[in-house]
Structure 1
Amino acid sequence: MGSTGPMGMKDAEFQQLRDFIYTLSGIYISDNRKYLLENRLSNRIKALNLKNYGEYLYYLKYDKGRRQELPRLFEVITTNETSFYRNPPQLAVFQNIVLPRILERLRKSGKRSLHLWSAGCSTGEEPYTLAIILFEALQAEITNWDVRITANDLSEAVLRAARQGIYSEYALRTTPKDIVGKYFIQEDGRFRVRQELKSLVTFGQLNLNDRGQIKMIPRSEIIFCRNVIIYFDDAMKKRVISEFYDNLVPDGVLFIGHSESLHHVSRTLRPQHHPGSIVYSKAL
């Protein structure tokens, strides 16, 4: 009897794989996502010529090829659907309310440096969008500022794409046309991010389950971590939000995904309600 792929994932295999993934990354895969995990890992099992999910787990733990396989595992379990100017109402709150207030406070204090952290940057659309908004806000004045965006993700593959900064028209589907013309160079039907945007962003691999790595991130005025904490269980959410709180300067602001909430997760960050978006701020 010929078989095109591995046998179905046993419950015990699912639990062991889920625990392994959680210990490594803090990403929690709930019972109702077993089929999804089974589906997505079947191609990895075929590619490695393994018979079943138990063999795959053994490979991840003990095989000499495990270091090359772990990044592929993370790519498979995290989805990377993103675009420029994703969730425009939230970005409007950032551009029109939060950013002007923070820039005004920095100007008054005589400080001309600003750090943003894009935690879970995927293929780069979010940090480059933030860079565009900063250019639009500061205009020619940006040359007098030290503006830096730290952009991190668990997956090296998406970071490689982000560093290249070349995108399809589909990735720009929610981006205003004048912005596309101003900040992208069109070549062969693709769109390349201009160098002045790239110069603001530093990409690096980061596991939000690794406190040591997080401590290396410079203190931030603004953190974007959208559609990331949905993958975490409550304990991991609390841990990560606590790290974000420590990283933010007083009066700093956290943006999370519009369908996400810090209800029951954090009492230290105060929600501020705006049309189309809730933002969380650290008290002065």
Structure 2
Amino acid sequence: MTQQLTLEQYRRLRDFIYQKTGIYFTDSKLYFVERRLLDRMESAGISEFSDYYTLLRFETSGLELQAFIEALTVNETYFFREFNQLKCFAEEILPEITRNNPQRLLFWSAGCSTGEEAYTLAIILSEMLSPEMLGRCKILATDIDNKVLSFARRGIYGERSIKHVPKPYLQRYFDQVGNEYRVDSSLRQLIDFKALNLVDSKSMRQVPETSVIFCRNVLIYFDDISRRQVALDFYETLQEGGYIFLGHSESMSRITSMFQLRKMQNAIAYQKAK
């Protein structure tokens, strides 16, 4: 590509990505998108925007579109992020959920990125539940980005990711390998990592009934229409009395009134009415 991305080209590309993913980039993100576009064009050996845009739209395998989406997604996370919410989940919501639903339970990390959140939930379940109850639990961890899912399945993290893991948990659930830390197989067995586009309602409705959903700092990348649709699909997936956590700066009340806001002792959560 010999010239900068024009605003018209950017908006055409932006709208196409929105149509495919529900992720919406404002005009102020032009430079951010352009840098990643140029990198992908260079990798594909394409010099003109029109040729690359045609590839994205019509390539039957969809591999380049997936690679471009992965280049656009931001993945910044670590173990035990937003601790107050996790404390609320462990000490307030989990006892309620297990008391009212003694059978099989599913917990969903939606937009799991590189897996730290899902493994954190696995640690909490392992610490809080009896072996019998733990055997009835499963964690579903989904993301649109296959690259981060591969990283998550590998389960090996650097010191930055594990900086907030309490020392007893670090010793119990991780093996140190050089300067990295590998999660224990007992945690891996609790988690199913799967690719899922949150704006694909057909796929969303195939998720089994869920007890608690963590979708933190994900919906901020969506526009209002997509947020409402994803929230509706979450609502349909949650069991009666189930809960959803958003990021601390997000509000489900601004998206939909379907959920009841619950002000718990440690954090705010949103509940599907019983």
TM-score (norm 1): 0.92
Percent same amino acid at aligned positions?
A: 38
The CA deviation at 1:204 is 0.7
Does residue 254 in structure 1 map to residue 250 in structure 2? no
Secondary structure at 1:172 match in 2: coil
Counterpart residue number, 2:97: 102
Q: Distance in 1 between matches of 2:188 and 2:35?
A: 36
Structure 1 residues 33 and 277: CA distance shift in structure 2, 3 A: farther
Q: Distance in 2 between matches of 1:213 and 1:257?
A: 23
Does residue 209 in structure 1 map to residue 204 in structure 2? no
Counterpart residue number, 1:75: 70
Paired positions, count: 274
**Does structure 2 retain, via aligned residues, the 8 Å contact 1:6–1:46?**
no
**Does structure 2 retain, via aligned residues, the 8 Å contact 1:89–1:275?**
no
The letter for the 2-side match of 1:35 is: Y
Q: Distance in 1 between matches of 2:108 and 2:7?
A: 38
The CA deviation at 1:88 is 1.0
Q: Distance in 1 between matches of 2:253 and 2:222?
A: 14
**Does structure 2 retain, via aligned residues, the 8 Å contact 1:116–1:221?**
yes
1:164-193: CA deviation from partner (whole Å, max 9, x where unpaired)? 111111110111111111111111221111
The CA deviation at 1:139 is 4.0
**Does structure 2 retain, via aligned residues, the 8 Å contact 1:117–1:222?**
yes
Equivalent residue for 1:16, pick from 5, 8, 12:
12
Counterpart residue number, 1:165: 155
Q: Distance in 2 between matches of 1:166 and 1:223?
A: 24
The CA deviation at 1:276 is 5.9
Q: Name structure 2 gaps, 5 residues minimum.
A: none
Q: Distance in 2 between matches of 1:112 and 1:62?
A: 46
Equivalent residue for 1:56, pick from 48, 52, 55:
52
Does residue 138 in structure 1 map to residue 129 in structure 2? yes
The letter for the 2-side match of 1:226 is: R
Equivalent residue for 2:41, pick from 40, 45, 52:
45
Q: Distance in 2 between matches of 1:36 and 1:208?
A: 23
Counterpart residue number, 1:121: 112
Q: Distance in 1 between matches of 2:126 and 2:146?
A: 27
Q: Name structure 1 gaps, 5 residues minimum.
A: none
The CA deviation at 1:142 is 3.8
The letter for the 1-side match of 2:85 is: Q
**Does structure 1 retain, via aligned residues, the 8 Å contact 2:205–2:236?**
no
Equivalent residue for 1:236, pick from 196, 219, 226:
226
